[in-house]
Amino acid sequence: MVPQPDSASPLGGAKVTRDPLSRGYFGLMNAAEAANHYFRKAARIMDVGERIETLLATPLREVKVQVSIELDSGEIRTFIGYRIQHDNSRGPMKGGLRYHPLVDQEDMVGQAALMTWKTAVVNVPYGGSKGGITCDPTAMSLKEVERLTRKFVDQIQDVIGPTRDIPAPDVNTNPQVMAWIMDQYSKYHGHSPAVVTGKPVDLYGSRGREAATGRGLLYVCREVLRDVGLPVKGARFAIQGFGNVGSHTARLVHEDGGRVVAVSDVHGGTKNASGLDVPALFEHVKRTGTVKDFPGGAACTNEELLAADCEVLVPAALGGALTARNAPDVKARILLEGANAPVDPEADEVLEKRGVLVVPDILANAGGVTVSYFEWVQNLQHLTWDEERVNAELEKVMKEAYERVATISRSRKLPLRTAAYVLAIGRVGKATVLRGI
């Protein structure tokens, strides 16, 4: 029972604001820039040299296609779709597909690279890619979105595939869109459920996929807390964002005995120093569509949430939530990046100086792509795993990834983020060298 954000989108997924200058999307755009910054920082610490850096940063292939459809009105509209494939040295490429008015090629390139590093950190045998269509699905009917999706598949079916590049849901795309992609691709290539992940559980999707990012976050959090000598039981959590990542994280942390002392969404927040009653909060969200005005807590702004008295802060809403301006107010000891790039590079330096342990996005929120990998594995083997198995395998992957990152961080005296990029560059670099240039 996951609360669905109220949305004008026919897909019922994450809400797209009609304002193209909305901060939310720029947050996402910054994710690409921030990832590029952190990649270069790690590459320079490793001293790989300018030409190796360029080799690793340059995308393998950038596909830009026309996606023309007939709207319900009979009007013909032409959209532009992209699929950017960054690196395939470690395996077929993997990355989300987003429908948004501000999708552009440069941003996609950065996002595709981010996927290369993320899949490398958790050691799933994938490279990185990303794609999207520049469109506003909130202004389209479901039928129009379906035609758009199928037409896009017609245009890129020769560059994607179970052993080439496997799309997944992203901003404004959901399991239904993935089902259409599977169906359309299968018309060209025969029955191919493994061409996309994030499919509905009733159509070759994996159990546990929906909660995977939140669950992965929890598994990493347990390891971090163990390392700093804090039990999860009784630890205080503040969670910004109550969408797919934030809501599952709150539920799982609560089940684990942690105290969720503050949560917020776009409408506002709620706090309770002795711990919110999370199941009651879910009921409230189901009824009202927001965590705001929850009777079991006091009102709390997003800024107050980021400065909340707690052990673990989980920004799981927007990119760029923490900047040089508000980072000095953070009281948490540990910051778990649920969203992509919620901490901008300036804030990252502030937090490092203040001794806040930042667990980076490419490690912390990699549970999603990990279970996507499990979905693909199940599809290729024509079998299904029960949720216990999915969760157990996820735990293994997340623990192992954290352990490797923490070891590099300790031995080289590097922040976890830089250590994660070092590990990713190492794995991609090794595959590249072994395969030959």
Partner 1 sequence: MGSRLVKKLIQIPICRGLSEPEAAEVFEVAEETSLKKGERLFREGEMGDALYVVLEGQIEVSKSDRQGRPQTLAKLGDGSVLGEMSLVCGDAARSASAHALTDAKLLKIPSARFSKLLRNDSVAALKIVHNLAQVMSRRLLLMDEKLLDAMEKGKRREELAEFQRILSDWSF
Footprint of partner 1 (CB under 8 A): 46-49, 51-52, 408, 412, 422-423, 426-427, 429-430, 433, 437
Backbone φ/ψ region at 320: left (φ over 0), alpha (ψ -120 to 50), beta? left
Place of tokens 């597909």: 97
How far is residue 175's CA from residue 139's CA, in Å, rounded to a whole number? Answer: 19
Asked if 310 contacts 261 with a C-beta cutoff of 8 angstroms, the reply is yes
Distance from C-alpha of 138 to C-alpha of 157, rounded to nearest angstrom: 25
Least Å distance, CB 426 to partner 1, is: 4
Collapsing DSSP to helix, strand or coil, 226 comes out as: helix
- Taking a C-beta distance cutoff of 8 angstroms, is the pair 23, 344 a contact? no
Rg (CA), the chain: 21
Q: What is the sign of the dihedral through the CA atoms of 101, 246, 343 and 408?
A: negative
> Rounded to an integer, what distance in angstroms lies between the CA atom of residue 171 and that of residue 115?
15
CB of 372 to partner 1, least distance (A): 24
Distances (CA, A) of 123 to 195, 221, 245, 402, 419: 20, 19, 21, 11, 14
d(CA 348, CA 307): 15
* Residue 229, number of CB atoms within 10 A of its CB: 6
Catalytic residues: 130
Identity at 234, one-letter amino acid code: G
Cα angle 320, 326, 328; round to 5? 125
